Chain A
Amino acid sequence: MRPEELAVRLQGRVPDVTVARGETTLVVDRTQLPAVLEELRTDGELAFDFLSSVTATDWPGRVPRYWVSYELGSTRHHHRLRVKVGLAEDDARLPSVTSLFPTADWHERETFDLYGIVFDDHPHLSRILLPDGWEGHPLRKTEELGGVDTRYKGAFVPPVDRRTT
């Protein structure tokens, strides 16, 4: 299905559908997420049976602050769809979809690791890329970047966002 046809087809079910740059994006509430993904998968005309990727973006100062996005594909029809869920800063959690898509396991762990977003009912939500004892979630925009202490006359290389030269 072409992106525009997809959008028309989906509009009846979910009101917030946009098409931009040849991609269809669906915005759903976190409580609806598992049900919507299941419907998208079982509907024969849509057949979104492949989850490519799960990730997030962080927009501090905006409401909602976090957007979690799911890239879906269809092995039968070769069309794609993005499903997004907005999450508030003080309540960044949403249901896990691992029971629907086993591949979501590592994707959700990565999103938890890098953004601190909690996926409820994930079988073992733990850090995946960073060490278990790491503090903070580095892909949040509010995270300090660090910088490097050098051994030359106590010099300090400032982090990239505070360099002047």
Chain B
Amino acid sequence: MSELPSRLETEPDAAGDLRQETMIVNMGPQHPSTHGVLRLLLELDGESVVSCRPIVGYLHTGIEKNCEYRTWQQGVAYVTRADYLSPFFNELGYCLAAERLLGIEAPPRAQVLRVLFCEMNRIASHLVWLATTGLELGAISMMLYGFREREVILDVFEAATGLRMNHSYFRIGGVIMDLPPDGPARIREFLRTMPGRIGEYERILSENPIWLERNRGIGTLSAEQALAFGVTGPMLRAAGPARDVRKDEPYCGYETYEFEVPTATEGDCYARYLVRIEEMKQSLGIVEQCLDRLAEPGPVMIENPKLRWPAQLEVGPDGIGNSPAYVRHIMEESMEALIHHFKMVTEGISVPAGEVYQPVESPRGELGYYVVSDGGHRPYRVKIRDPSFVNLQAVPSMLEGALVADAIAVIASVDPVMGGVDR
């Protein structure tokens, strides 16, 4: 120990330069710009990033293991909590996987409702991304606008599902209940105002010198690099490839909707911004098509009593719950209905043995559910392929050689949600 010179006593070398030393800095896990508990181990040479190591796991809650000890229907309430900014996509991936194992398909109206809620959710998620990115890069008014509009979407979610997030609204075999009577009108009102609002965001940001300075040419990822790292979603599409599960392997009837898959070629943070803004506009178009299709009434859950959730739910002033009429039915009128309800809720449904991998296009990319059944009443394995988890792997190659200030812009452009990363 005594052999090592103290830093203070170190002499400048012969050329008169200061000793070259790198510094290790922990960014996170508690840091306002890392979108949750992401930790970056940065090796810095002055202001430049020499190397970067993302460290995850601080929000691991064992969702996959939990699913193995709950009934198939209860699984929805677990997976919806993984990527908490896009709960509907988690529910959708899980339900579609379970439905494929069962060999059933949700009724047409349920599929339209699923598409509608997913696209509204995509807009809400991109708004959070835009709002927080704006906050981190100095456009604080963007934060206020983004959350203001997201609130309108969350109000619709609350009116329809009883909750602002973690809805458990999609169930195996359909959705748990239809839209409230004023639902379509509220969504139409949102569709009327939102295009103008997106135009406002673009006027604030698209040609803003600070926004351009912080985003253009920052965090560039080529298409080849992105694919090698398994990157999907807006991050990949900003680099060129128009890879979108909704187009490539359609589910829920996406092949019957008209929409474009926006792409860019630069692959930098600014290109990701452009792609996400355009995706919001496309989603508005899909929501509008959904509303037109909802004019046709119909069931929102399969009819098979051996598979459908027995209870009739309703949104009350304190959230979602069993409807009083249904409670009266099982408690006062029909012993058989009570027995059936008890059996379905405690024992649940059994699902034929097998395995499926169901991808859906979440706001962050390919969200995959690999679900295995051994024929029992509980899933044998639920693996969530979360896009943020995979996309984070590309962060070192985007950061190394960049300035430490760019780390903020790069992480923001990945849009990681740690609930999904750590599961």
Could you tell me which A residues sit within 8 Å of B by CB distance?
20-23, 25, 49-53, 55, 57, 69, 71, 75, 78, 80, 82, 101-103, 105-107, 114, 127-131, 138-139, 145, 160-161
Contacts and interface: CB of A to CB of B under 8 A. Distances in A.
A55 B369 CA distance: 11
11 contacts: A20-B354, A20-B355, A21-B356, A23-B356, A50-B227, A50-B230, A52-B368, A53-B368, A69-B355, A101-B230, A129-B60
Contacts of B65: 138-139
A60 B142 CA distance: 53
Contact of A128 (B56, B227, B359, B368): B56
A122 to B, nearest CB: 14
Given A71-B368, A80-B357, A138-B65, A103 B393 contact: yes
A107 B101 CA distance: 25
Nearest to A84: B355
Q: Which 3 A-B residue pairings sit nearest by Cβ, starting from the closest?
A: A103-B230, A53-B385, A78-B248
A30 B354 CA distance: 22
B366 A129 contact: no
A23 B390 CA distance: 23
Given A57-B381, A71-B385, A52 B230 contact: yes
Most chain A beta carbons < 10 A, residue from B57, B100, B393? B57
Contact of B370 (A22, A69, A127): A69
Most chain B C-beta atoms within 10 Å of own C-beta, residue among A21, A50, A105, A130: A21
A34 B106 CA distance: 39
A57 B230 contact: no
Contacts of A53: 357, 368, 370, 383, 385
A141 to B, nearest CB: 8
B62 A75 contact: no
B422 interface: yes
Given A20-B355, A52-B385, A129-B422, 4 more contacts: A21-B100, A55-B370, A71-B357, A75-B241
Interface in B341-398: 354-357, 359, 366, 368, 370, 372, 380-381, 383, 385, 389-390, 392-393
Contact of A131 (B57, B62, B228, B383): B57
A70 to B, nearest CB: 10
A106 B389 contact: yes
A21 B230 contact: no
Contact of A102 (B229, B370, B380): B229
Interface string B296-319: 000000000000000000000000
Nearest to B389: A106
B64 interface: yes
A103 B390 contact: yes
B77 to A, nearest CB: 14
A69 B229 CA distance: 18
A127 B357 CA distance: 25
Contacts of A105: 393
A147 B357 CA distance: 31
A11 B80 CA distance: 39
A147 to B, nearest CB: 12
A57 B389 contact: no
B228 A52 contact: no
Given A57-B372, A102-B228, A160 B69 contact: yes
A49 B131 CA distance: 35
B390 A101 contact: no
A103 B229 contact: yes
B243 interface: yes
B221 to A, nearest CB: 13
Given A21-B101, A49-B227, A78 B249 contact: yes
A61 to B, nearest CB: 12
Interface in B215-247: 227-230, 241, 243
A130 B59 CA distance: 10
A57 B57 CA distance: 21
A107 B230 CA distance: 10
Nearest to B369: A53
A131 B390 CA distance: 19
Contact of B243 (A20, A75, A82, A114): A75
Interface in B54-82: 56-57, 60, 62, 64-65, 69-70
B145 to A, nearest CB: 35
B380 A57 contact: yes
Contacts of A20: 354-355
A106 B101 contact: no
